[in-house]
């Protein structure tokens, strides 16, 4: 419940913006036959972490310690919700596109007043204080003794990764009479966390600027004075692609997203976002925002401002908003701010969108590693995604910026919530847009970096060390969804064992910060000046809003919501509607670009750093013919958007 999510690393300089450490390194729990619940109780599976072992047990948590938890409600018909969410999203189903309104969804699948009252009564009778409730959950606070009574388990302290965490000794449970009413409980297994309320958001964060020289389009400026890389001179990195170039690359045609609303969720809200977005559009040839086209939905107050590095999210928000508008200039954009980077607050933001049907498409450039996810939290997210699906809302999540995560965590794994079977996971590419906005090629995004030797005649340690790349791979916890059958090769789907599992990503777009997007943001410079500036940025933080923008164009073509898009995305697999991206689009030769950066990130006062960055070297992941674990089915090609107008 208190696991913190990190913004995708919107890398621009040398991948130096830090990924926030997750609040916990939670294991993936499972229900064990040897861990029965008391008679007359219903198990809340996934509430005991696998790291809560006898060997790690440090003894009972003091009865007086405080616990904050959320009991998520299953609603009227949890199985029916899953079935309808699948049917309404599947082009081969008779129920395809028969979406419900938010009110109809609540009436058919939401929790009843009787369920909420019964759950509330149970929790109060155990001695817990109800701190809030709505159609999704009942939140409670109380001491350990009351918590143990309510959930029929004991709470102990366990050592993990050099720290001590609280967790249930056995799977939590609810009274058997409430088995159909309670989905799960979160918060029992999380480290204590003190959050103060009514915090003031910090001002614009530290400035970053790119040095030159640049290419204006891919290959326009060759680094003739620098050493060869892979046997040839390489181009300088682009200054940053604009909307015109991205729209051309992904086949926007005459579509603009008119009549479609895209929501963006992140933690906090940049105080200069609206002004920055207007200025960026004006400077870079995008349409000016019409009155009311951009709006914000903010929480009553924020928390965990320091722990979540609130100002560090502002660049992410600028990127998300400006990229969506650049690709879909007539789409409405609603920015929905989370009160923090913690799961409960991000879930609240997503639920606002679903409860009031604020948007058709939701772009999310944040997440965490799968090992930090527990099934209780995953169940809460999935319920929100399914409720959205029946209303015709599609959720898009960036797949991560650390490839197979081995360099980052020491373990091969995917990211979450991108691993959910109910979202579209967006992978990343390196994009070459040529002269006249022509699409030249893409590779999978994966970067090796080597620096210029002191004598300027070679690259030190070429091709260099791995810095970043598109997240992807095979989930250890989520089974293969129906839409991936027959498309994802068994070599990937069964990478973790005999069972076919969810593989990500589903689709991809530009992410490489060396072929990235120009973004505008108000920043704080070393001399104290606070002013607007522009810089190149990347990460799957970029790919997700770009695909959200493309999907807005596709929905305009369809004249009807697309909703949860994966069945439709996979139905187009293997057709010319996608660029089938590979790591070697020009034959056997590897590709690279040269980059010059300010050492201090702002100006030449601290000197310049010259490096060469390879394309298509994503840890153990590879972009190959067909579906792959870097780009999924590929990237949208000419005709993709218009195809939604031909397939009703």
Which residues have C-beta within 8 Å of that of residue 162, sequence separation ≥ 6? none
Give the model's confidence band at 198: pLDDT under 50 very low, under 70 low, under 90 confident, else very high: very low
Closest alpha carbon to 175 in 59, 288, 38: 38
Closest alpha carbon to 402 in 511, 264, 516, 515: 511
Q: Mean pLDDT lowest for which of 113-117, 186-190, 502-506, 561-565? A: 186-190
Which residues have C-beta within 8 Å of that of residue 552, sequence separation ≥ 6? 257, 260, 262, 324, 327, 328, 331, 360, 361
Record the pTM: 0.93
Q: What's the pLDDT at 194?
A: 29
Q: What is the pLDDT of residues 394-416, one digit of tens each?
A: 999 999 999 999 999 999 999 99
The span from the first CA to the last CA of the chain, in angstroms, equals 40
Q: What is the pLDDT of residues 270-288, one digit of tens each?
A: 999 999 999 999 999 999 9
Q: What's the pLDDT at 201?
A: 58
Inter-residue contact 237 to 595 (CB < 8 Å): yes
For residues 648 and 646, give the distance between their C-alpha atoms in angstroms, rounded to a whole number: 6
Average pLDDT over residues 466-486: 97
Q: Domains in the chain and their CATH numbers?
A: 243-646 (3.40.50.200)
For residues 363 and 344, give the distance between their C-alpha atoms in angstroms, rounded to a whole number: 18
Average pLDDT over residues 515-541: 93
Q: What is the DSSP secondary structure assignment for residue 22, as one 8-state letter?
A: P
Q: What's the pLDDT at 203?
A: 67
pLDDT beyond 80 at 197: no
Q: What is the pLDDT of residues 360-390, one digit of tens each?
A: 999 999 999 998 888 888 999 999 999 999 9
Q: What is the pLDDT of residues 80-103, one digit of tens each?
A: 999 999 999 999 999 999 999 999
Strand blocks (E) in 18-112: 41-43, 57-60, 66-73
Q: What's the pLDDT at 35?
A: 63
Give the model's confidence band at 34: pLDDT under 50 very low, under 70 low, under 90 confident, else very high: very low
CB atoms within 10 A of CB 392: 22
CB atoms within 10 A of CB 180: 15
For residues 550 and 543, give the distance between their C-alpha atoms in angstroms, rounded to a whole number: 10
Inter-residue contact 188 to 155 (CB < 8 Å): yes
Inter-residue contact 61 to 143 (CB < 8 Å): no
Query: Within 164-232, where are the H helices?
Result: none
pLDDT beyond 70 at 33: no
pLDDT beyond 70 at 648: no
Of 183 and 18, the one with more pLDDT: 183
Inter-residue contact 634 to 581 (CB < 8 Å): yes
Q: Mean pLDDT lowest for which of 19-23, 256-260, 302-306? A: 19-23
Q: What's the pLDDT at 163?
A: 87
Distances (CA, A) of 321 to 12, 57, 271, 287: 17, 46, 14, 13
Polymer length of the chain: 648
Q: Mean pLDDT lowest for which of 41-55, 224-238, 398-412, 547-561? A: 41-55
Q: What's the pLDDT at 351?
A: 98
Q: What's the pLDDT at 480?
A: 98
């Amino acid at each position: 419940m208190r696991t913190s999510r990190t913004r995708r690393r919107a890398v621009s300089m040398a991948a130096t913006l830090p990924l926030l450490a997750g609040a916990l390194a939670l294991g993936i729990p499972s229900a064990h036959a040897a861990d029965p619940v008391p008679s007359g109780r219903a198990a809340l599976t996934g509430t005991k972490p696998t790291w809560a072992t006898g060997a790690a047990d440090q003894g009972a948590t003091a009865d007086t310690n405080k616990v904050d938890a959320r009991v998520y409600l299953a609603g009227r018909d949890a199985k029916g919700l899953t079935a309808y969410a699948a049917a309404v999203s599947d082009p081969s189903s008779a129920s395809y596109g028969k979406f419900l309104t938010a009110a109809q969804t609540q009436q058919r699948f939401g929790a009843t007043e009787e369920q909420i009252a019964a759950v509330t009564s149970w929790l109060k009778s155990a001695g817990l204080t109800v701190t809030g409730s709505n159609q999704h959950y009942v939140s409670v606070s109380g001491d350990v003794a009351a918590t143990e009574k309510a959930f029929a388990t004991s709470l102990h302290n366990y050592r993990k990764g050099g720290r001590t965490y609280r967790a249930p000794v056995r799977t939590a449970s609810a009274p058997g009479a409430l088995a159909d009413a309670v989905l799960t409980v979160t918060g029992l297994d999380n480290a204590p966390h003190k959050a103060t309320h009514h915090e003031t958001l910090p001002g614009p964060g530290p400035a970053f600027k790119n040095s030159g020289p640049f290419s204006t389009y891919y290959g326009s400026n060759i680094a003739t004075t620098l050493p060869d890389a892979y046997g040839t001179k390489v181009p300088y990195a682009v200054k940053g692609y604009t909307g015109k170039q991205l729209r051309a690359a992904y086949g926007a045609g005459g579509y603009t997203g008119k009549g479609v609303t895209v929501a963006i969720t992140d933690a906090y809200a940049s105080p200069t976002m609206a002004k920055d977005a207007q200025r960026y559009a004006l400077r870079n040839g995008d349409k000016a925002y019409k009155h009311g086209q951009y709006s914000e939905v903010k929480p009553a107050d924020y928390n965990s401002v320091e722990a979540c590095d609130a100002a560090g999210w502002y660049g992410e928000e600028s990127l998300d908003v400006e990229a969506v508008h650049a690709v879909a200039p007539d789409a409405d954009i609603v920015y929905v701010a989370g009160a923090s980077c913690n799961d409960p607050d991000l879930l609240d933001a997503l639920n606002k969108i679903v409860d009031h049907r604020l948007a058709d498409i939701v772009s999310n450039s944040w997440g965490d590693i799968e090992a930090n996810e527990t099934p209780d939290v995953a169940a809460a997210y999935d319920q929100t995604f399914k409720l959205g699906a029946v209303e015709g809302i599609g959720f898009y999540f960036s797949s991560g910026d650390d490839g197979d995560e081995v360099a980052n965590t020491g373990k091969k794994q995917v990211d979450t919530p991108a691993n959910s079977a109910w979202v579209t996971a967006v992978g990343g590419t390196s994009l070459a847009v040529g002269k006249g906005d022509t699409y030249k090629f893409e590779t999978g995004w994966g970067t090796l970096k080597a620096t210029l030797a002191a004598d300027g005649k070679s690259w030190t340690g070429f091709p260099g060390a791995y810095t970043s790349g598109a997240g992807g791979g095979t989930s250890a916890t989520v089974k293969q969804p129906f839409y991936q059958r027959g498309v994802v090769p068994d070599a990937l789907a069964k990478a973790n064992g005999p069972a076919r599992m969810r593989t990500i990503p589903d689709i991809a777009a530009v992410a490489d910060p060396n072929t990235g997007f120009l973004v505008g943001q108000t920043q704080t410079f070393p001399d104290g000046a606070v002013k607007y500036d522009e810089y190149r940025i990347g990460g799957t933080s970029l790919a997700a809003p770009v695909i959200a923008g493309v999907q807005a164009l596709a929905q305009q073509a369809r004249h009807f919501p697309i909703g949860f898009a994966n069945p439709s995305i996979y139905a187009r697999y293997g057709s010319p509607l996608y660029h089938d991206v590979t790591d070697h689009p020009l034959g056997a030769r590897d590709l690279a670009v040269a980059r010059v950066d300010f050492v201090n990130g702002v100006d030449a006062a601290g000197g310049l750093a010259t490096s060469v960055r390879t394309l298509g070297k994503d840890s153990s992941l590879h972009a190959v013919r067909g579906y792959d674990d870097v780009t999924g089915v590929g990237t949208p090609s000419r005709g993709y958007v218009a195809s939604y107008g031909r397939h009703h």
